[in-house]
Amino acid sequence: MSSPQVKSNPQSQVKTNPNNPNSTNQTNPNSTQTTQQITWETILKSPRIERQHVDFAINSAEQAPQVPVEFVYNQLVTDARISSPASVAVSGTGGIIGAILVLRHTISLKYFITTKEVLSADEKSPLFLAKYALELLSKKYNDTEVITIELNEFEKIKLLLKQGGVYISGLPYELVVQLSQLAGFGRLWHYSSMQRKFYVF
Amino acid sequence: MSEQFQPEVKKFKWLLSQGYINPAELAFYSNFYEIQMTTTINFEGNEILTPLFILTKPSKFDRLKKELPQAEIADPYSKKFPLISLISIEKFVNSLVNLKIPYFFFTLFLHESYYNAPPHVHALLYTLLQLANSSNKYVIKYYNIKEEPMPVSSDLQKIVCHFNKMLGDKDNSCDDSDWWKYNLWSKSTNNTAVDRKMIEKIALQYNISPICVHYVLAYNKNPCHLSPFLLLQIKSDLSSSSS
């Protein structure tokens, strides 16, 4: 696993996102890593994802480590093919790092999926970091469409599945249930920060 | 359905074959993906539609799995009925008459390992298939099952009775008590399984063809137009000799 190192600015002690001038000095005051050098290694080990992690991860997405992928049903279904993700959910803090890591497994990225709650999140909301990451990602991958999804939008789910795999971590549980009900084997990607691997269902 | 949904279609077929979902649930998912359950395979020179149940002796399962790699052994206890199922006659009959088979459209193929099956086995299968196909619940295409008349006084009638009741014929007063205690192969417990010596003895006694006696005793049929008196006499002789 590669662990690209990115040097922080010793003057500011905070990494900033050159693509996002608004992100300067927006460090979480509770951050414990402002004085540490942020690397992919530290992000993967960090129990809490903060804005500077997101900045770094998106800026160095191309250098992100290749996280292992495990097909959950490989004992049962031997002829399933894993579909590379064409849609990536960016909708909950827990799924953001996986959403960036999974970009290395995409062949043709079509959609960022999110929810209306994320799009309307204010800075105090726990969903704000997802909104922030989504804004950065949609700027960086500007030909990727951002779509929202709500409960019972089955036609939308079909549309997503039609394109290929779907990275689902961070989506509300009820939506994950509906997606997984309709998805075939090898379609759904989940990132486990504990195991540091992707599970494909 | 477009190839883009092949993983979905495969998943739902697999879930059905493993018993995780039932045909009603599959019908729900078919609303999304138009899942066609039927495909054709070539088996013993025939183009056969799946789901396919191959009725075969368990001793032939391994050989058939080599011949047809997609075939799997069905397990009614765990509700596992693969799309190409290898199953014994008894397990198939029990699953069918208890409405446990998760398909409404399927094919039944009697394998050559059962070709020496006595007429009453064909009769039972044939009668059950006719009932199923006339019930508006099933469409079952079958191979190698001969049309034979069902023995009148037989434990097998209880199976037919049970299937009738399971299909919704609640008014039927037929007897299906202990229907599962049938024995397809042992002649000793089956009234219709009259041994050859007995048939020959009666045929000689009344100077008629053994075939005529066989039909009377096994199927309660009278193709030789024996007199009613003679018919009663033959049945009486049989009951006195077997008691």
pLDDT digits (tens, 9 = 90+) for B132-157: 999 988 899 999 999 988 877 678 88
Banded pLDDT at B14 (limits 50, 70, 90): confident
Of the partner residues A81, A154, A161, the one whose CB lies closest to the CB of residue B8: A161
pLDDT value of residue A25: 38
pLDDT value of residue B1: 55
User: Which residues in chain A have their CB less than 8 angstroms from residue B11's CB?
Assistant: 77, 183-185
Comparing CA positions, the residue from A100, A113, A97 lying closest to residue A62 is A100
Comparing CA positions, the residue from A53, A44, A47, A41 lying closest to residue A2 is A41
* B8·A81 Cβ contact <8 A: no
Q: Which residues of B165-179 are buried (b: 16+ CB within 10 A; e: fewer)?
A: bbbeeeeeeeebeeb
Angle at B154 between CA B148 and CA B158, to 5 degrees: 100
Report the C-alpha dihedral over residues A49, A50, A53, A59, rounded to 10 degrees. 120
Chain A positions touching chain B (beta carbons under 8 Å): 77, 79-81, 83, 154, 158, 161-163, 182-187
pLDDT value of residue A115: 97
Give me the mean pLDDT over the B207-226 stretch: 82
Give me the mean pLDDT over the B106-129 stretch: 92
Residue B7, chain A, CB below 8 Å: the answer is yes
pLDDT value of residue A198: 97
Q: How many CB contacts within 8 angstroms connect chain A with chain B?
A: 38
List of E strands, chain B? 40-43, 46-49, 52-55, 72-73, 84-87, 105-110, 139-143
Q: How does pLDDT run along chain A (201 residues), one tens digit per residue?
A: 333 333 333 333 334 444 444 443 344 444 444 546 899 999 999 989 999 999 999 999 999 999 999 999 998 887 789 999 999 999 988 899 999 999 999 999 999 999 999 999 999 999 999 999 999 999 999 999 999 999 999 999 999 999 999 999 999 999 999 999 999 999 999 999 999 999 999
Amino acid at residue number A171: L
pLDDT value of residue B201: 84
CA pair distance A81, B56, nearest whole angstrom: 33
* B6·A184 Cβ contact <8 A: yes
* A184·B11 Cβ contact <8 A: yes
Per-residue pLDDT at B222 exceeds 60 = yes
The two beta strands, A197-200 and B40-43, are unpaired
pLDDT value of residue B194: 59
pLDDT value of residue A23: 42
User: Which residues in chain B have their CB less than 8 angstroms from residue A183's CB?
Assistant: 7-8, 11
The two beta strands, A145-148 and A111-114, are parallel
* 3-state class (DSSP) for residue A71: strand
pLDDT value of residue B153: 62
For the ranges B16-30, B132-146, B164-178, the lowest mean pLDDT is seen at B16-30
Residue B10, chain A, CB below 8 Å: the answer is yes
pLDDT value of residue B169: 83
Banded pLDDT at B240 (limits 50, 70, 90): low
Per-residue pLDDT at B86 exceeds 90 = yes
Task: Identify the residue whose tokens are 């056969």.
Answer: B48
**Interface predicted TM-score (ipTM) of this complex, two decimals:** 0.73
Shortest Cα distance from B96 to chain A (angstroms)?
27
pLDDT value of residue A59: 95
Residue B80, chain A, CB below 8 Å: the answer is no
Residue B20, chain A, CB below 8 Å: the answer is no
Shortest Cα distance from A49 to chain B (angstroms)?
34
Between A93 and B189, residue with greater pLDDT: A93
* A185·B5 Cβ contact <8 A: no
pLDDT value of residue B13: 85
CB of A3 within 8 A of CB of A60? no
Mutate to test the interface with B, among A185, A187, A189, A200 (most CBs of B within 10 A): A185
What is each CA distance from B95 to B100, B177, B213, B216, in whole angstroms?
5, 17, 34, 31
Q: In sequence order, what are the residues at sequence separation of 6 or more whose Cβ sits closer than 8 angstroms to the Cβ of residue A13?
A: A34, A35
